[in-house]
Chain A
Amino acid sequence: MDSLLNNITSSTFLSPIWISLKIAILAGIIVVIIGTIAGYFLARRSFKGKAVVETILMLPMVLPPTVVGFLLIVIFGKNSWAGQAITWLFDRPIIFTWWAAVLAAIVVSFPLMYQSAKSGFLSIDRDIEDAARVDGANDWKVFWLISVPLASKALISGAILSFARALGEFGATLMFAGNIPGETQTIPIAIYLAIDSGQMTMAWLWVGAMIIISFIILLTIRVKE
């Protein structure tokens, strides 16, 4: 019993949990903002090539995480144009950093938020937005005072699903952010390595932690509904 308590309070156990939560929260916040804006824009505007843009935005959801990881390395790697720009700006490359894990989480969870937001905005009666315009609201006020509150259910469930997806991200993170204990080692990566090295107790603990967090997330959605 004492050893279990020691395990639970040890930094070896807690570190991946904090890292995972921090990554998922930050990625979640960013994804909620850009996913909501993208969802609104694509629900309201039509333009040439819209179908192609929508397909590209949804692609990370169906692609294997290793493909996403590969593409992230190609796009943001040390030799790429974007990678060099980042190195120049921040004095270090993004690959194999905590920020790389955040970026990987953003990419894989974005489609869930975008999809929820878009269908939430599409379900709003356009006349209600038009009524607000007639009442003197500008585009920003229509969006903030009418569209967002009316799509709030879809936005909240999108946010929670994206958070959960960011929390569970494994493949792309491992490839793009690596496995650096205390920096990029998330719960899913820690579980994989624990099993690989026969540390079944630690694996169980992390699995338990993951189940509890996921359960709370899904329960929140159910209660909200």
Chain B
Amino acid sequence: MTQLIFEHISKSYHSGEPVIKDFHFETKEQEFIVFVGPSGCGKSTILKMIAGLENITSGRLIIDGKEMNNVPTRERNLSMVFQNYALYPHMTVYQNIAFGLKMRKEKKTDIKKKVLKAAEITGLTGLLTRKPTDLSGGQRQRVALARAIVCDNPVFLMDEPLSNLDAKLRTQMRREITLLHKRLATTTIYVTHDQTEAMTMADRIIVLKDGSIQQVGTPHEIYETPANLFVASFIGSPGINVLEGKVESNGITIDGIPTIFSRENLRTTREALVGIRPEHLIIDEYNPLLTATVEDLETLGADTIIYAKHNRIHLTIKAPGLLSFSKGDPLPLSLTGEHLLLFDKESKKVIL
């Protein structure tokens, strides 16, 4: 039942440039929020401010209707999973999980009951007497999760918790964390630089760059209607194609190639950047808009990524199925008009 409110929060160190600029946002109750952005965008700093491990320079942080700016970390009633797990290396798994309960001076019998339950949920029952150094990366990750869930706190913070795991384990833990969130019904803030994690786990995503919010939205909204070129480029794999274009009354010209697509509300001629997702470029032998030349292929199994060139422009195409092309093969392409994204050349903001 916990809501986090960020009221125009800014952060700067000493007299330097602000690292967080006017962060303004409200979570809903029990929401899974993902902060995503490249390294240095300030996402971890915001997480540390929520935890009280970093000071807030200006603005207000409100948790459950109470201003938290000057409340010490230990009184904020939240749980956090750190990127490198930050387990207590001198304690056993049991002691690691029990530490928070001990700090709250809970009864020994209650502590035991809760630790055993958390260990069961995270699959650590057989490992309680081990020390963290005797565990694999995945097991350490589970201890960090168990330590976070055992206190039953209403707010859950996660700082890139999966970045140290191998690809397979990462996919598995992603699913487990999502299920855990549904089960615990906490308000969760999850920080990552990985757009796949953001897309697959979030109720809502906040895309950050240089300490400013670029866009807030559901994974669907972020992908389909990005607010600017940065969001469009950052989300999506492989990345979106960005081409020089011109918007005219009779259609949009892409790199000198006139298309039939137009936007009703754009009557004036103007230069623009055209964004096309790789899956929206379609191999079309019958009615191609252009014929590119194949440069390289990546076979993913279910899909094939084709890197092609047309005149001076490079294109990335994601086509379903296993395709085989050789370098230099002609590649007839067309595209579907409703998926074109237009961005202002100067401001890089989306043109509606």
Contact = CB atoms under 8 A, between A and B. Distances in A.
Given A125-B86, A130-B53, A135 B78 contact: no
B88 interface: yes
A128 B82 CA distance: 9
B293 interface: no
A137 B74 contact: yes
Of the candidates A131, A132, A138, the one having the most CB atoms from chain B within 10 angstroms of its own CB is A131
A134 B73 contact: yes
A44 interface: no
Contacts of A137: 74, 99, 103
B99 A135 contact: yes
B258 interface: no
Contacts of B51: 130, 133-134
Contact of A130 (B79, B82, B103): B82
Interface in A129-156: 130-138, 141, 146, 149-150
B82 A132 contact: no
B78 A134 contact: yes
Given A133-B53, A136-B74, A127 B103 contact: no
Nearest to A136: B103
Contacts of B147: 131, 135
Interface string B84-95: 101111100000
A41 to B, nearest CB: 19
Nearest to B100: A135
A133 B74 contact: yes
Interface in B53-85: 53, 72-74, 76, 78-80, 82-84
Q: Give the secondary structure class of A's interface.
A: helix
B168 interface: no
A141 B105 CA distance: 13
Given A137-B74, A138-B74, A131 B86 contact: yes
Interface string A144-185: 001001100000000000000000000000000000000000
A131 B89 CA distance: 12
Q: How large is the interface on B (under 10, 10 to 19, 20 to 34, 35 or more residues)?
A: 20 to 34
Q: Give the secondary structure class of B's interface.
A: loop
A152 to B, nearest CB: 8
B80 A136 contact: no
B88 A141 contact: no
A107 B90 CA distance: 33
B308 to A, nearest CB: 45
A132 B88 CA distance: 8
Contact of A149 (B53, B74, B90): B90
B151 interface: yes
Of the candidates A125, A135, A136, A137, the one having the most CB atoms from chain B within 10 angstroms of its own CB is A135
B157 to A, nearest CB: 8
Nearest to A135: B100
Contact of B103 (A125, A128, A141, A149): A141
A131 B88 contact: yes
Contact of A134 (B79, B87, B90): B79
A131 B80 CA distance: 7
B104 interface: yes
A132 B90 CA distance: 13
Nearest to B74: A136
A23 to B, nearest CB: 33
B288 to A, nearest CB: 54
A186 to B, nearest CB: 38
A141 B84 CA distance: 22
A95 to B, nearest CB: 45
Nearest to A149: B90
Interface in B80-139: 80, 82-84, 86-90, 99-100, 103-104
A135 B147 CA distance: 9
B103 A131 contact: no
A136 B104 contact: yes
A47 to B, nearest CB: 13
Nearest to B90: A149
A150 B133 CA distance: 14
Contacts of B88: 128, 131-132, 146
Of the candidates B76, B100, B151, the one having the most CB atoms from chain A within 10 angstroms of its own CB is B100
A105 B100 CA distance: 42
Contacts of B104: 136
Nearest to B103: A136
A150 B104 CA distance: 22
Give me the 4 closest cross-chain CB pairs, A-B, nearest first: A136-B103, A135-B100, A127-B86, A131-B86
14 contacts: A125-B84, A127-B82, A128-B89, A130-B51, A130-B80, A131-B87, A133-B53, A133-B72, A134-B76, A135-B74, A135-B100, A135-B147, A136-B74, A146-B88
Interface of B: 51-53, 72-74, 76, 78-80, 82-84, 86-90, 99-100, 103-104, 147, 151, 157
